Structure 1
């Protein structure tokens, strides 16, 4: 089937396309946006030290750029292969001058034997035709590029665009779109896989924005010619670029191939998640060919329907999708069904999605250890204790269910009192409004468990309960782990309570998820060592 014409590609799932790795591996490219030649030469060396294979020199960022003076210095002084990009403002760059002068600078870069030059599709056909005599004596490869700063077109539209780019005589084609939805990257993956499988055209295909981050991280899996990583945060040449350090160390793009299985965390927001920094090294520790990514999702059902290929093996689920996941799974494990929330989805070999909950045991066991630390020496730390759970969402359900199952008397406090009542009735608990919690002190020695995102970065000064109301609690748990010590935990400690960080719940539920993902024992000591380094 010709996926680049007709209706084939647009209606084809990723699972229907064979994937092949790039012949020589996907290169890691650092885009350099320095304002002087000296700084750009310095950054080339820094990029090499950080693991880049190639650098893109955005010469439109250089103040008072003089091509005949500056290009020889940049090209002769390079310690890595370079892409010369002189991006005009009509294609999202900074250059606003005469077009003939810009084109002349790119022609000069060919004469000077630049490794690559980037030419925009709008001018590529005429430019390449004008360079025929120079190209015969030059090793420079021409990248023909197109950038869509508004949206990601359909696979069919991208396919037609690729055909136009290829017809210019390009050595390499590059198309970049913008993500309005995490599923937009699927259109790009389909076309990228096809260009490698059928057209054999070296292709750079990326999606800008946080919702398009996965296109950059999975580029080697689908055969991308290169992907971009910045020297550091704040040095991006386009929205959503990760750092070289994350590409090399966290996501291990050097080791990725077409057989790499994909896992990740589904949430909104999701950028704060420490999951990639824990699961990826754990995969490496047991020699498991997999990568764990952040998925910034708007609609869970849509996400699962699009990323349903066998290589997408499973997902962690966080706010606000733990209850939605219950409905989206084909099957749900009994305890997750009883809790009413799923935090782990596994794609089984038969293609069905199965839901689990590893939050419950992780949180409850962490709280039980906190009770033991406060002086309890029996075998049932929660039995008979009054446990106040803040929040009635997925994590709140897990906490309430788990505490009740361990013999605690449970009270649910929630901003929406009706939701608190529904949860309380389902687990045999009491419901109170969040406002009432400020004066709720029926006894001493109570346990408080916050399951909401209140106090999470960047709103670190927020707390779900005033400090004055913490006096009756002997143990306080906060599911938030960014920051490690929330305002709630800090004030609880000052009030004399034993505090339990969400990071402890995080490591325990992650161990459970890892074993569901891989079917193998988790490298617990490695994972705990990683978590210890996360702490400030």
Structure 2
């Protein structure tokens, strides 16, 4: 990766590689070593479906991987493919303990470790291999998350891993708080689109590891970035506790060139910032809760966002209710697409208007006292109407919903 970094992250980039058939082991090792050669620090060998292959497979993956290994059997209950008993798991752990060359880490699910004496006894015999106790919830944040985190850290292990499906960006911020309060090495990550921030900021927030897919087709959890995205787009190793966070807020977000473009500009300017996807469900309450969490948290360092559908009008309301500034053009059209957060407070602005006006002027369009037809009645349409009305044009609005078109006309006079 090119460009200067501000502080090397101590967090480990772990790349999961799944082996579904022993016959495919050679290809899997090639994929693992390619990932190791392009920035992966550790390979997580997902062996859920090949547990019966025995010690020879374990020996091969540890011996032939160019970097360290984390060996995992993820159960069906926690989103994987291993359907064996606790006794089967204990036997597998025992095989690892007998290896001449051990892996660096072994993942054992906390639920099985806590209920099975056989699993605990086998884990205690691992020797040089470190024990990572893990917890995964693919349905959402467990109500007793804090108790689970406390109990796991009190267990006899070298590190803990807590992962759950995020309901909102606020869950990702909770990962930061768990890491800040940890009593031993911890991985705290959220799955799904709302959890991406927790994965990108894992190192900056003090997490032991983050996980990155080898390519677009090999993610083992929803929301997992690729190794290339993590390093090239988001500059994972350059982020630190003082990194300023910016992002794109909307619902749905989908693919956007902004993540790559803005982060590339930050790198070029040697600016310690990162631009992230911050999906926020439709509705005033959702936007208010998400922005309040990001702005008010003393250690997240949220500094602004691009705002897209359906939140442009609600952003103006939010900034006004917080006592912030609303630019003249944002106030005129009742919608904003830019949020600025700094030591002076917060400000809502609308760059859509300039983005619409300038190309029209460049092409010689008559905007002063002219006539214009606007298709749509959303935030961009509001910006177009506001700037053209300011220039003395008359406008006609065409929209699928007559109500929204009438509302736009009433709001803008």
Please confirm whether the aligned pair reaches a TM-score higher than 0.5, indicating the same fold. Answer: yes
Counterpart Cα distance in 1 of 2:237 and 2:98 = 33
The two structures, once aligned, show a CA RMSD in angstroms of 2.1
Residues in 1 aligned to 2:154 and 2:410: alpha-carbon distance in whole angstroms: 66
Query: 1:273 deviation in Å?
Result: 2.2
Q: Distance in 2 between matches of 1:39 and 1:109?
A: 22
2:110 to 102, 105, 121: 121
Residue 321, structure 1, aligned to residue 311, structure 2: yes
Aligned to 1:37: 25
CA contact (8 A) 2:55 2:96 kept: no
User: Residue 205 of structure 2 aligns with which residue?
Assistant: 222
* TM-score of the two chains, using structure 2 as the length reference: 0.89
Q: 1:389 to 1:24 in 2, by over 3 A?
A: closer
Check the 8 A contact 2:90/2:122 in 1, yes or no.
no
Partner of 1:59: 47
> Residues 185 and 207 of structure 1 are in contact (CA less than 8 Å); yes or no, is this contact kept in structure 2?
yes
Spell out the pairing of 1:73-112 with structure 2 (5 A cutoff).
Answer: 73-112=60-99
Distance in 2 separating the partners of 1:218 and 1:159: 20
Q: Which runs of 5+ in 2 are unaligned?
A: 1-5
Question: Do 2:91 and 2:122's aligned partners in 1 also have CA atoms closer than 8 Å?
Answer: no
Q: Which residue of 2 aligns with 1:399?
A: 384
Match for residue 421 of structure 1? 406
Change over 3 Å in CA distance of 1:29–1:239 after alignment to 2:
same
Distance 1:401 1:131 in 2: 66
How far 1:166 sits from its partner (Å)? 1.9
Shift of 1:277: 1.3
Deviation at 1:141, TM superposition (A): 0.8
Aligned to 1:204: 187
2: CA distance between counterparts of 1:111 and 1:307? 48
Match of 2:3 in 1: none
* Equivalent residues of 2:249, 2:277 under 8 A apart: yes
Structure 1 unaligned blocks of 5 or more = 1-20, 429-536
Match of 1:148 in 2: 137
Whole-Å Cα distance in 1 between the matches of residues 262 and 164 of structure 2? 29
Among residues 226, 229, 235, which one is paired with 2:218 in the alignment? 235
Q: Is the 8 A contact 2:9 2:238 kept in 1?
A: no
Q: Is the 8 A contact 1:359 1:395 kept in 2?
A: yes
1:254-310 alpha-carbon deviations (Å, 9 max, x no partner)? 101101010001000112222111111111111110000011102110111111235
In 2, are the aligned partners of 1:271 and 1:294 still within 8 Å (CA)? no
Number of residue pairs the alignment of both structures matches? 389
TM-score (structure 1 length as normaliser) = 0.69
Q: Which residue of 2 aligns with 1:356?
A: 349
Q: 1:337 to 1:250 in 2, by over 3 A?
A: same
Q: Name the larger-Rg structure.
A: 1
> Does the 8 Å contact 1:22/1:223 carry over to 2?
no
Q: Does 1:340 align with 2:334?
A: yes
Give yes or no for contact 2:7–2:237 (8 Å, CA) kept in 1.
Answer: no
The reply on whether 1:263 has 2:246 as its aligned counterpart is yes
Matched, 1:294 2:283: no
- CA spacing shift, 1:23–1:366, aligned 2, 3 Å: closer
Match of 1:164 in 2: 151
Take 1:86 and 1:169, find their aligned partners in 2: how far apart are those partners? 19
| Counterpart-to-counterpart distance in 1, 2:287 and 2:163 | 25
Taking a change above 3 Å as real, the CA distance of residues 335 and 384 of structure 1, as seen in their structure-2 partners, is closer
Please show how residues 176-215 of structure 1 align to structure 2 within 5 Å: 176-195=163-182, 199=183, 201-215=184-198
Q: What per-residue deviation string (whole Å, max 9, x for no partner) do you get for residues 192-214 of structure 1?
A: 1211xxx2x11111111112121
More displaced 10-residue stretch of structure 1: 208-217 or 317-326: 208-217
- CA deviation after TM superposition for structure 1 residue 232, in Å: 1.3
Inter-partner Cα distance in structure 1 for 2:97 and 2:254: 41
Q: CA deviation at 1:39?
A: 2.2
What is aligned with 1:8? none
